Amino acid sequence: MILTLLQVALGGALGASARYLTGVAMTSLMGRGFPWGTLAVNILGSFLMGLLVVALANLSATRLAPFFAVGFLGGFTTFSSFSLDVATLYERGDVALALGYVAVSVAVSIAALFAGLLIARNLFA
C-alpha cells in the first residue's frame, strides 16, 4: 500500500510537471487565444493511456500501473482515465451507457464549475 502510494505520488508529480511544460510550450507556439495546452495534454494523455493499457497487460507489468496510469497520466490529464472509461463501456457493448457517461460528465462538470464560480464570487466579493 505504501509503495503504491509512493508510485502514484511520484508519477503524479512528474505528470503534473509535464502538463505544465506542455501548456507553456503550446502557449509559446500557438498563442493564448485558445486552450491549446489543455487540448494537447488531453489528446496525448488519451493516446498514451491506450498504449499503456495494452502494453501493461501484454507485458504482465501491472505492478507499474499505479505509477504510469494513476500517477503520471493522472497528473498529466485525468481526461485519459475518462477516455479509458468511455472505451471500456463501448467495447463491452454498452454504447448508450458510454454516450450517456460522456454527456453527463461534460455537462455536469461544466455546470459544477459554474456553480463553484457563482458561490465563490458571492462569498469572496
| 77 annotated ligand binder | yes
- The single-letter code of the amino acid at 93 is G
Please check whether residue 41 is in contact with residue 19, taking contact to mean a CB–CB distance below 8 angstroms: yes
Alpha-carbon gap, residue 88 to 98, rounded angstroms:
8
pLDDT of residue 58: 87
Question: Tens digit of pLDDT per residue, the chain (125 long)?
Answer: 999 999 999 999 999 999 999 999 999 999 999 999 999 999 999 999 999 989 988 887 788 899 999 999 999 998 999 999 999 999 999 999 999 999 999 999 999 999 999 999 999 98
One-letter amino acid for residue 72 of the chain:
F
Q: Which residue ranges make up each domain of the chain?
A: 2-77
Contacts of 106 (CB under 8 A, 6+ apart): none
Question: Is residue 71 annotated as involved in ligand binding?
Answer: no
Distance of alpha carbon 32 from the chain centroid: 21
